[in-house]
Structure 1
Amino acid sequence: MRSRHDHVLLAPGADASGRTLKAPSSRARPRVDDRLAPPETRVEYLDGAELFAAPADAPHATQHFDLTYVLGAHVAPGYRGAVDMLTRVDEGSDYAPDASVFAQKPDRGGHRRLEELAFEVSDKQALAVPTSKARRLIDRGVRRVFCILVKQHRVLEWSRETDGWRTLPKDAVIEDPCLVRPLPLQALLDAASSDDAVARALLQKRVPALEAALAEGEARGEARGEARGVALGEARGVALGEARGVALGEARGEARGEARGALLGELRMAQEAITTVLQARGVAVPAKVARTIAGCDDPSKLRRWLKRAATAATAAEVVAGSRRKR
């Protein structure tokens, strides 16, 4: 329901390619940069009535700061943000939204373009004033108007369908072609969330200084990771080498032990065979000869003695010419 005009001049969107949209009207509207209020003063006009824009105190002032901090980081390329920028809405109204976003490229006449997004911050001020301003901004062609209620910790958006405010959920985001990424409402209401939202927006913009800092951080991280990897690899290599050395030593020890055992077994069998052959033939084996045979660890000599045992008349003949190994 609009009582003042039958046609709406909408601000150009992201796909407007710089076109200036004109609405048919029986009379021309003033340009957005025509002034009723003297610039750089605290005077505004609403329906011909002069308003005084008073300086703010906390928390109103701090909310202004948070708004511009977060909004500024989210403005997309090709757009500009502004604070307290006067906009001539109609013949009797010339006032400044607390923050706004508009296309950076001037229109064909060289004048600045109408805001596409406008934000109001309301604390002690009655909601009637932001409501009147929002209705006229929308009527002029601003696409979207928001109001931050400081005390209630809420964000409102003007609805063309109901010609009034609607409350946005606190976990909602503002998605718009003017913004480089969705802007979380929580970042406007909670200072603790502001830095995170700003950082994500600047990363999305690929700010050169931030890109360089990230690249430097990645390089340092890679260098540290490589150094740690080398140290860890060396440590693992030493441990693996030690483990392999132990295993190899044990294997070699076992092999040598088995070979030594086998050799001793063969010697014992040969020694016993010599004594057995002599005894089977009825040849006595004196203790001295038995000690000589048991003390011999030369396999070839034991084989010779075994052959002699088969024919020797005495045990002494078997070991004749040999010295007992001490």
Structure 2
Amino acid sequence: MAKHDHALLAPGRDGSGRTLHAPSDGRSRARLPHVDDRLAPPETRVEYLDGAELFAAPADPPHAIQHFDLTYVLGAHVAKDYRGAVDMLTRTDEASDYAPDASIFAQKPDRSGRRRLEEMAFEVCDKQSLAVPTSKARRLIERGVRRVFCILVKQRRVLEWSRETDGWRPLPKDAVIEDPCLVRPLPIQALLDATSSDDAVARALLDKRVPALEQAVAEGEARGEARGEARGEARGEARGEARGAALAEVRATQEAITTVLQSRGLAIPAEVARAVAACNDVNKLRRWLKKAVTAATAAAVVAGSRRKR
């Protein structure tokens, strides 16, 4: 892994993976509603913050594009035993129930069998005032969320909430986020640049040791070795590595499509899974990946992929 000047470590990262709770405002945590006890009606765009009703409006580019890039990168970086979510409502207190743009939480249910509070939360901010994400971040931290980030679309900056200052802290663009929720350090640049996103996703999927991806890399290396014996070791290895890299990109994109659909809670029919697995056209897979972010169903992602005769 390339060295970075800044590594942003998780608060309380002592190997235990425990969740740290910020000092509260005097309210008893035992009296708080469960994070899944709804105040806002699910499957609508209504949220509540300190008793005030908010409307989460749909987005235009570049805000909408940033949402996709965030989901794309996070989906690949979620570590084992954790799950990612998009627009998942969280009840922070009696008067607040809203959905961070993306979040990561422990997969194992709590003692009552219900989902656990997220450990990391991300907000994307474009035209709206930073006051709203600020209020949301403060409530999430008070509830017990360990880390909250905000991506400023126009400024192309990433902020992290600071308990010490009770405010946002700008993060250097060459920094990485290290956290037990992540399979590998997440470069800040990967959240801001599409090219860096692809590189970070590929590395994260390799670190996850995805069987199909490892097999593809091994097959590419094997083909390279075989051709090297027939045409010369140097030439064979070069071609084998190139084809292995191309096949690795195909497999990584296939995995990313599945990851995005699963993170959105969409069922993936067998025929869709077969279509994705059988496609070796990386350009087509990239188009499907973009459609996976907003498609109403998994079938809609690959719809129309066959040419009419």
State the TM-score, normalized to the length of structure 2. 0.68
Residues 11, 49 of structure 1: alpha-carbon distance in 2 compared, 3 angstrom cutoff: farther
Q: Answer yes or no: is the 8 Å Cα contact 2:184–2:207 preserved in 1.
A: yes
Structure 2 partner of 1:297: none
Please state whether the residue corresponding to 2:223 is helix, strand or coil. helix
Structure 1 partner of 2:125: 122
Instruction: Confirm whether residue 188 of structure 1 aligns to residue 183 of structure 2.
Output: no
Q: CA deviation at 1:25?
A: 2.5
Structure 2 partner of 1:46: 49
Task: Please show how residues 167-206 of structure 1 align to structure 2 within 5 Å.
Answer: 167-206=170-209
Please state whether the residue corresponding to 2:31 is helix, strand or coil. coil
Distance of 2:68 and 2:233 partners within structure 1:
49
Residues 151, 34 of structure 1: alpha-carbon distance in 2 compared, 3 angstrom cutoff: same
Please state whether the residue corresponding to 1:227 is helix, strand or coil. helix
Which runs of 4 or more aligned residues in structure 1 lie more than 4 Å from their structure 2 counterparts after TM superposition? Answer: 10-14
Instruction: Confirm whether residue 87 of structure 1 aligns to residue 90 of structure 2.
Output: yes
Q: CA deviation at 1:209?
A: 1.0
Task: Please show how residues 1-326 of structure 1 align to structure 2 within 5 Å.
Answer: 15-16=16-17, 25=28, 28-229=31-232
Distance of 2:166 and 2:141 partners within structure 1:
10
Q: CA deviation at 1:231?
A: 12
Distance of 2:233 and 2:120 partners within structure 1:
54
Larger radius of gyration: 1
Runs of 5+ in structure 1 lacking a partner? 1-9, 233-326
Q: Which deviations, in whole Å up to 9, do the C-alpha atoms of 1:122-145 show, x marking residues without a partner? A: 000100000000000000000000
Q: Which deviations, in whole Å up to 9, do the C-alpha atoms of 1:195-233 show, x marking residues without a partner? A: 00000000000111101110110110110111123899x
Q: Answer yes or no: is the 8 Å Cα contact 2:184–2:204 preserved in 1.
A: yes
Q: Answer yes or no: is the 8 Å Cα contact 2:87–2:102 preserved in 1.
A: yes
Q: Answer yes or no: is the 8 Å Cα contact 1:75–1:101 preserved in 2.
A: yes
Match of 1:42, as an amino acid? R
Please state whether the residue corresponding to 1:145 is helix, strand or coil. strand
Q: CA deviation at 1:192?
A: 1.3
Q: Answer yes or no: is the 8 Å Cα contact 2:84–2:104 preserved in 1.
A: yes
Distance of 1:134 and 1:53 partners within structure 2:
16
Structure 2 partner of 1:255: none
How many residues are aligned here? 222
Distance of 1:182 and 1:207 partners within structure 2:
18
Distance of 1:231 and 1:164 partners within structure 2:
55
Q: Answer yes or no: is the 8 Å Cα contact 1:11–1:116 preserved in 2.
A: no
Q: Answer yes or no: is the 8 Å Cα contact 1:46–1:94 preserved in 2.
A: yes
Q: CA deviation at 1:11?
A: 11
Q: Answer yes or no: is the 8 Å Cα contact 1:100–1:115 preserved in 2.
A: yes
Residues 185, 91 of structure 1: alpha-carbon distance in 2 compared, 3 angstrom cutoff: same
Q: Answer yes or no: is the 8 Å Cα contact 2:17–2:180 preserved in 1.
A: no
Distance of 1:180 and 1:48 partners within structure 2:
37
Structure 2 partner of 1:249: none
Q: Answer yes or no: is the 8 Å Cα contact 1:11–1:141 preserved in 2.
A: no
Distance of 1:140 and 1:59 partners within structure 2:
31
Residues 81, 14 of structure 1: alpha-carbon distance in 2 compared, 3 angstrom cutoff: farther
Q: Percent identity?
A: 82
Residues 135, 199 of structure 1: alpha-carbon distance in 2 compared, 3 angstrom cutoff: same
Distance of 1:90 and 1:203 partners within structure 2:
39
Runs of 5+ in structure 2 lacking a partner? 1-10, 236-309
Q: Answer yes or no: is the 8 Å Cα contact 2:104–2:120 preserved in 1.
A: yes
Q: Answer yes or no: is the 8 Å Cα contact 1:11–1:114 preserved in 2.
A: no
Distance of 2:49 and 2:221 partners within structure 1:
54
